[in-house]
Amino acid sequence: ETGVTQTPRHLVMGMTNKKSLKCEQHLGHNAMYWYKQSAKKPLELMFVYNFKEQTENNSVPSRFSPECPNSSHLFLHLHTLQPEDSALYLCASSDPSGTVREQFFGPGTRLTVL
């Protein structure tokens, strides 16, 4: 596989469930990101990992917990979510040492919280 992959593509969960989103990149990048995309709003950066170390946490509620076991994999653990957390969750990766530093995105997980 090439590029950035995300699983699952769709997820429906109740407020008391625990679930995890998975992201994998095959681009040899060392930076990975989680974004939340809600309708008609800018992409919201949630977490950033550089060389497996978390470097940004933009005031994200603790019901979202990231994990980065290596530079190719990124997880987002979900627990006790609220209906307003329903959104498209996008994973991205980039080469932090590159000249342009464009981010490559996965297809996203469409999350619905009931």
Partner 1 sequence: GQNIDQPTEMTATEGAIVQINCTYQTSGFNGLFWYQQHAGEAPTFLSYNVLDGLEEKGRFSSFLSRSKGYSYLLLKELQMKDSASYLCAVLDSNYQLIWGAGTKLIIKP
Q: Which stretch binds partner 1 (CB under 8 A): 14-22, 59-67, 72-80, 102-110?
A: 102-110
Q: Which stretch binds partner 1 (CB under 8 A): 19-27, 43-51, 64-72, 73-81?
A: 43-51
Short-list 41, 40, 102, 49, CA closest to 72: 49
Residue closer to partner 1, measured from CB, 66 or 108: 108
**Single-letter amino acid, residue 51:** F
How many Cβ atoms are within 10 Å of 13's Cβ, its own excluded? 17
* Cis ω for the linkage preceding 8 (within 30 of 0): yes
Residues that bind partner 1 (CB under 8 A): 4, 40-43, 45, 48, 56, 90, 96, 100-108, 110
